[in-house]
Structures are given as C-alpha cells and as structure tokens.
Amino acid sequence: MAGRAAEPEVIWARPERTGRGPRPAYTRADIAAAAVRIADAEGLDAVSMRRVAAELGCGTMSLYNYVPRKEDLYELMVDAAGGEHELWEPGGDWRADMLRVAHQSRALMHRHPWLPRLMSPVYGFSPNALRYLEHCLACLDPLPAPYGTKLELIAMLNGIVTTYVTNELATAERTRSLPWSQEQENAMRIAYLGGRIATGEYPRMAAAFAQDAGPIDLEAVFERALGRMLDGFEPRR
Amino acid sequence: MAGRAAEPEVIWARPERTGRGPRPAYTRADIAAAAVRIADAEGLDAVSMRRVAAELGCGTMSLYNYVPRKEDLYELMVDAAGGEHELWEPGGDWRADMLRVAHQSRALMHRHPWLPRLMSPVYGFSPNALRYLEHCLACLDPLPAPYGTKLELIAMLNGIVTTYVTNELATAERTRSLPWSQEQENAMRIAYLGGRIATGEYPRMAAAFAQDAGPIDLEAVFERALGRMLDGFEPRR
DNA sequence: TGACTACTACGTACGCTGTACTTAGTGAGG
DNA sequence: CCTCACTAAGTACAGCGTACGTAGTAGTCA
C-alpha cells in the first residue's frame, strides 16, 4: 500500500497488443471471463493468480504478461461485469430511467456478489464504465440541471446501490452460511440484544425493537432509499 | 468463506474473562489499541496477527486466546474507533444534530482511514455501536416518524458517509502515493479521457468535461449529498 | 491439602498468497 | 538475415492465517 513506484499506469492506458513478437495466447476478455467464472462459483477469495492461470491453462507467471498487478485483474473483472449492463434508449422520464438503472445495477450485483467489494475505487474509467456513465447522462437529459449536478446524482445513486446491496448480501450470507436455522439465529441475536437492552442504557433501542419485530423487506427499504434520494434532485423545489 | 462451522459466535457474546486459570496478560482494549496503532501508522494491510502480537510483546498464537479469528480482531478495532465518537445532549433540532453526527463520523474516518474498509458488515452490535445507535435515535426524538423510518435514516446516513469518505480517501491516496505531481496526474487523466472522448462515442461526457474543468470541492459535495438525503425525511412533504 | 481441570502461553508446521527474477523461445521490422 | 521486443514459464522468497500439540498456571472441589 505504501511503497509502489515502478508502474502506476492504469491498465486501460496500455494497449492490449503491440504487434511485435509472438501473438498472445489469450485476450483480456478471456482472462476476465475466467476470473469472473471462478469468483461466481467459489467466491472472490478463490480468485488468485495461480487459480486464474490454471483455469486458463497457462503457467502462473505468464498471467503477469497480461496483468501487471492483481489489482488490474480486479479491474478487468469489474469491467467485464459492467459489460452486462443493458443500455436502452432513454424514454424521457429521468426518474423512471434512473430507477431502472438502479434496479439493473442491483440485479447485476446479486448475480456477481463479489462486485460491490471491488467497486470502492468508484471510478476506474474502464471502457464499460464510460459506456455506463454516458448512458446515465443520456437518461438525465430531461433533467434541467448542470452536468456537475447530474454527475453528483449518478455518484450518489451508485453509492446507495452499492451500500444497500452490500448489506443485502451480508444478510443473505449470514442466513445461508450458519449451521443453525434463521429462527435460531434471530433468537440468539434477540437474546444478546435483549441482554444489552435490559440494562436500561438503551431505552430508544428497546422501544424500536418493541415497536416492530417483524422481518424487514429489504427490497422495499432499497426502493424507499432510492425514492428519497431522487426527491432531493427534483427541480421544482 | 464457505465451510466455516465450528465457532460462529460473535465475539461480543463471549465474556472477556471467565475467572478460571491464570489471568490474561492483556485486555481486549489493549489488543484493539495495538491494532489501531499499527493500522493508523502503517495501513490496514500491516495489521497481521504476527504484527499485532509483536506490538503487544507476546507470541503470535497467544493472540488466538483472545481473538478466535482475524475478523474478530477487526471487530475490536471498529469498536475501539467507535468509542471515539463524542456523544452530546441532543438540542432539539434533529437535522442539525444528524449533520453533526455525520461530520463527526467523517472526521473519525479521516483520522482512521482503514475504518471504511472494515464497516461493510454494517451492524456488528458492538458495545460502542449500540451507544452510537442509541445516541442517533435520541437526536431523532423530535422527528415525528416511526422507529423503522428513523433506523432507515440512520442506515442511509452511515452509508453515505462511508461511501463519500471512501471516495475522498481514494482520491487523497492517489494524489499522495504517485511519484508525479497532481497536475501531471490530471494531465494524464485528461489525455486518456480526451482520447476516449475524441472518438465521439461519449458526447455528453465531452460536454460535461467541457462545462466545468475546475477542481471539485469534495467537502461541499459531501454536504450537498447529506442535505439532499435529509430532505427526503422532512415530515412536511 | 492435594487432585482436577479450565485456562493461558507459545513454538512448530502447513498450505496458501503475490510477485521478483531468470531463462528459453518466437516472430515481425529494419 | 539479424535483431530485439515480446511471450511463456519455472523457481524462489517472504509473508499470511491458523491447526495442532505441549507446557505451565491458578481457581475449584473432595
């Protein structure tokens, strides 16, 4: 994290092929597809340079001819997933179009649960990220606002989608991976929280848990969050 | 990530001391402080079990008596940082109080840049997380809304703070770690983006970059995002 | 009091990681 | 044809999380 100095270039700036020497055995798309296949099937932690090389059928170190650092492999993966975004002709209702964008991003992240973890550097300017950004701007054409505001809207939307899907995935993961049932998990959680609450130090949390104990509809929560966020950009305020 | 079955308990459920056998040489606070010290000084990647044990002055495997998994060490760190939150008596203006909460969280994350990366499991119910949550609810007492809505507000606020600070930190890291100056970095970025834009595939991005080329005030962006989000919870809508 | 036993402490070892470095082979440009 | 940038791959190293086994310690109970 600290002492890297040699090659700070972003991978999209270097050409995939220079024309000299033997032609490469694999394309970036091949490599990204292999990594995505592994991550989808076995989780992001299973994506190692050795494992991807094995999946491709080449030596481990050969991979470094295509991908100078592992971080760049991640960038390839994010770009490949971004390529699955379906881009349509905007219909003139920016709110509806942005909601559709958000739901599609959410579906994409549920299909590739490793995606949110790799999205922290927000803007990598990969080819598909540029296409996505341009499409969002096209959806926002009907909104009377400067481009700066539109970019802020897009950033905020992406942030909310990432945040909420991360939460959804963590919840699902907990539910699935534990050897107990969902009820046992909830019972244990309530027992622990109940013990803390019983101290009387947290009267409002006690009231909150007494008020609604039913299971929460995460999709509805997501929908409400989106709506509230988009409200903040309505021009007639 | 898949096959863990033995000890799924959360660390806060197990008592720090049972009373039997020799008394432990360190407290959880000691361990958390050591890990935080390392993370602050050398980055999160420098926090390894060996390194923390060395910082404490004990053998590597002794640490596992206190912290069953490394993930639990992370929980200790997040809780320790959360303890730095200053909790005040709410003043009756929930909007002002929540803004203050957000700015304090932001400052906390800037002081401990590793914090956002460890916050993905959103709610760990650590002692200080409970105190923080209760305090937020107290700030929201004047807001006429059910507790479910208030919890959604708090979650959304935390998500936005984390998202934006992550972005700020990534930007700062790029600026600092590269061997070139900020201008060179910008020039290179603009050269690359300019090349992509020159293809004519991204007319709106071209317009956006033509419209405002000045440096962006990240704090102002953060402030606007917060304001828009809180607008969505105003009762008089 | 002594025996028991839960607990702390910690060294060794295993399988895994990213990747620096080295060597050999290939094929297009001058 | 020669040259040299490029691909391919093997070896090696430092570091990681942690399973396992052993030795010592101190509260608890007969």
Taking only the tens place, the pLDDT of each residue in B29-79 is: 999 999 999 999 999 999 999 999 999 999 999 999 999 999 999 999 999
How many structural domains does chain B have? 2
Domain that holds residue B32: 11-82
From CA B7, how far away is CA A204, in angstroms rounded? 31
Yes or no, beta carbons of A204 and B134 under 8 Å apart: yes
A18 touches strand D (CB under 7 A): yes
Query: Looking at chain A from residue 49 to 108, which residues have their Cβ under 8 Å from any Cβ of chain B?
Result: none
State the nucleotide closest to B60 in CA–C1' terms: C10
B-chain CB neighbours of A1 within 8 Å are 43-46
Tens of pLDDT along B144-175? 999 999 999 999 999 999 999 999 998 888 77
A62 touches strand D (CB under 7 A): yes
Quick check: is B49 in a domain?
Answer: yes
Q: Are residues B167 and B189 in the same domain?
A: yes
Q: Are residues B117 and B198 in the same domain?
A: yes
Q: Are residues A50 and A164 in the same domain?
A: no
Tens of pLDDT along B15-27? 888 777 788 899 9
Q: Are residues B39 and B109 in the same domain?
A: no
Kindly report the length of chain B. Answer: 237
What's the CA–C1' distance between A101 and C19, in Å? 39
Q: Are residues B31 and B144 in the same domain?
A: no
Chosen for mutation from B125, B130, B219, B222 (greatest number of chain A CBs closer than 10 Å) is B130
- Average pLDDT for consecutive 10-residue bins of chain A (237 residues)? 45 81 88 98 97 95 94 95 97 96 98 93 79 97 96 96 94 72 66 80 89 82 97 85
For chain A, say whether B132 makes contact (Cβ under 8 Å).
no
Q: What is the mean pLDDT of chain B?
A: 88
From CA A162, how far away is CA A147, in angstroms rounded? 22
Q: Are residues A64 and A100 in the same domain?
A: no
Q: Are residues A119 and A153 in the same domain?
A: yes
B-chain CB neighbours of A163 within 8 Å are 159-160, 162-163
CA nearest B13: which of B89, B72, B101?
B72
From CA B173, how far away is CA B185, in angstroms rounded? 12
- ∠ Cα A188 A193 A197 (to 5°): 150
Q: Are residues B58 and B100 in the same domain?
A: no
Quick check: is A2 in a domain?
Answer: no
- Strand D and chain A: which residues 38-57 have CB closer than 7 Å? none
Q: Are residues B107 and B196 in the same domain?
A: yes
From CA B160, how far away is CA B72, in angstroms rounded? 25
Q: Are residues A41 and A66 in the same domain?
A: yes
Residues B78, B126 contacting (CB under 8 angstroms): yes
Q: What is the model's pLDDT at position A19? A: 72
The residue whose two tokens read 């991908």 is A67
CB atoms within 10 A of CB B102: 21
Q: Are residues B133 and B216 in the same domain?
A: yes
